[in-house]
A and B are shown apart, each in its own frame.
Chain A
């Protein structure tokens, strides 16, 4: 089993829909959970960051972490064509721990249809 699993998509949804992006992981030591957005021909940019379990909201974006299920989600409300990008989940363990390297998912390609 890979450390981080993420469906590569592509995922196409109409403008205004709610988007749900997900990752599963196998390493229970992971404590830091991140979502990056990567536009075509650009580097990834940090979108959301969550420590341990729970929800975090930032505008139209909500990140959820369920450590008991080893499952993280990113929700995008009122999706816009400008949200079309590849979304990478990433996670890591405690600093100084052998698991403190950031592990990335493969990314999900999202297309928002006007």
Chain B
């Protein structure tokens, strides 16, 4: 059965800390892995990773995929209170009408 597992489920840090969020997957016919940030409402797209070992960066956020070990990490450096959100990881596989399989998410709280 295809699944995506995120850890930790919840994390509390102070402003300025660096955090690493983990996502492991077992997805048949894997194509890519996506990260989303969800604040109060709809998830917003962060990254899509298709190739192993190539880091994607956007400001203080970065992410990398390891297709051999079947995991991805999302790093946030110098965290700010505005980074507080649920971070969702999803695996995309071909042959299934473009379905995403989501993990349960990591709830990050950044305290001042």
Pairing of A with B: no
B binding-site residues for A, Cβ under 8 Å:
none
